[in-house]
Amino acid sequence: MIATDHEIEVETERLFRLLMSVDCEPGRQWNYAACRGIAPLTLEINRLKRERGAVVLAHSYVEPEIIYGVADFKGDSYFLSLKAREARAPVIVFAGVVFMAETAKILCPEATVVVPDRGSGCSLADSLTGAQLRGLKALHPDAAVVCYINSAAEVKAESDVCVTSGNVGDIVARLPQRRILFVPDRLMAENLRIELKRRGVAKEIVSSDGTCIVHDEFKADSLAEARIRFPGLKIVAHPECDPAVAAAADFVGSTGAMMKYVRSTRAPYYLMLTECGLVGRLQVEEPEKRFIGGCRLCPYMKLNSLEKIREALAAPRPEQVVTLDEAVRRRARRCLERMFELAPGD
Ligand code: 13P
Ligand code: SF4
């Protein structure tokens, strides 16, 4: 069914009102013509969603036309895993990266979970296999195995409990074991060691060697200069950053917590040490705040597009449909359910 001119006009207005303040990504500008260009596609995707009974979950790093055009829920990994768990939808489209869609499939096996682009990996999730983790477990048999949610399903299946950037400190502090094998993020493990020491929690953290290719790029040396150039600046960092960067920040937290921090503070400038998509969300939702700094893109997140979402909804190619070995899925589910038991309430 083709949308009428009137429907396209109304949709263009809706998109333009939301997207006009987004200018964080060089080369992309959300003027009226750009919104008019995507309106027929967002209308078609929203119609397909209704016909299929589908929900679209979108991580805050994907392009703003996905977040504000077609997403039913937008947020960080923890929030989206909760939404996937609650979803009663026969079809879930995950606009994010593959480990997030796998997590939705682990929690919702009866749903058809589709990804817009099968190539949307993650340097952290791709840094460790289940077999490599079994090797590490053999070296540390007395350790509790804690995996960051940015990990493959087979790694979750080998782990005792999963954590996200928003609950890692609280969950690890609650575990009875003193020794923790934390995978796959080396920098988050270092930040965790510092955080637990600050809280007076005695743990020995052993980790594997993965890093996020986006957050690993932020360096602490330019931050002091930024504070001089922009008096009153608040620096807000993700815990996948280097500990020296985290130490120089005013706040460190998950992307959801970073947004809450900006919402709840008043500063003349903010520097967001994370993927650029989060700045786009803040420009829409906190339009009076000013953000400095360049734009770092996650190449995996940016593989998502409206065209691929339409394809995944209308007639998914086999590689767009997430499938998991049932034994792996069941074991991975235990590790995720343990996270929901141990995570502090909001
Ligand atoms: P959040 O769970 O904080 O959104 O982090 C996900 C991620 O991939 C960060 O790079
Ligand atoms: Fe993975 Fe980093 Fe991209 Fe997040 S930003 S999905 S951790 S590569």
Residue 275 alpha carbon, nearest atom of ligand 2: 5
Provide the CATH number for the domain formed by 5-121+301-315 in this structure: 3.40.50.10800
Main-chain phi, psi angles of 251, to 5 degrees: -150, 140
Distance 277 CA to ligand 1 centre (A): 11
Pocket-forming residues, ligand 1, beta carbon under 6 Å: 76-78, 150, 164-165, 212, 238, 240, 254-255
- The pLDDT tens digits of the residues spanning 28-83 come to 889 999 999 999 999 999 999 999 999 999 999 999 999 999 999 999 999 999 99
Distance between terminal CA atoms of the chain? 42
How far apart, in whole angstroms, are the C-alpha atoms of residue 185 and residue 122? 12
Provide the CATH number for the domain formed by 125-211+325-342 in this structure: 3.40.50.10800
Residue 122 alpha carbon, nearest atom of ligand 1: 8
235-263 average pLDDT score: 98
Distance 238 CA to ligand 1 centre (A): 8
Please say if the pLDDT value at position 210 is more than 60.
Answer: yes
Please say if the pLDDT value at position 346 is more than 60.
Answer: no
Query: Token match 């299946």: residue?
Result: 157
Model confidence at 344, pLDDT cuts 50, 70, 90, reads: confident
Of 77, 80, 122, 276, the residue with max ligand 2 atoms within 8 A of its CB, to mutate for a pocket test, comes to 122
218-240 average pLDDT score: 97
Model confidence at 27, pLDDT cuts 50, 70, 90, reads: confident
Distance 12 CA to ligand 1 centre (A): 30
Question: What topology is assigned to 215-285 in CATH?
Answer: Rossmann fold (3.40.50)
Please say if the pLDDT value at position 134 is more than 60.
Answer: yes
143-153 average pLDDT score: 98
Query: Which protein residue has the closest C-alpha to ligand 2 atom 6?
Result: 122
How far apart, in whole angstroms, are the C-alpha atoms of residue 293 and residue 226? 9
CB of 231 closer than 8 Å to CB of 170: no
Distance 36 CA to ligand 2 centre (A): 31
- The pLDDT tens digits of the residues spanning 158-197 come to 999 999 999 999 999 999 999 999 999 999 999 999 999 9
Write down the domain spans for the chain.
Answer: 5-121+301-315, 125-211+325-342, 215-285
Task: Give the model's pLDDT for residue 17.
Answer: 97
298-320 average pLDDT score: 98
- Give yes or no on whether 5-121+301-315 and 215-285 have one common fold: yes
Query: Which protein residue has the closest C-alpha to ligand 1 atom 3?
Result: 254
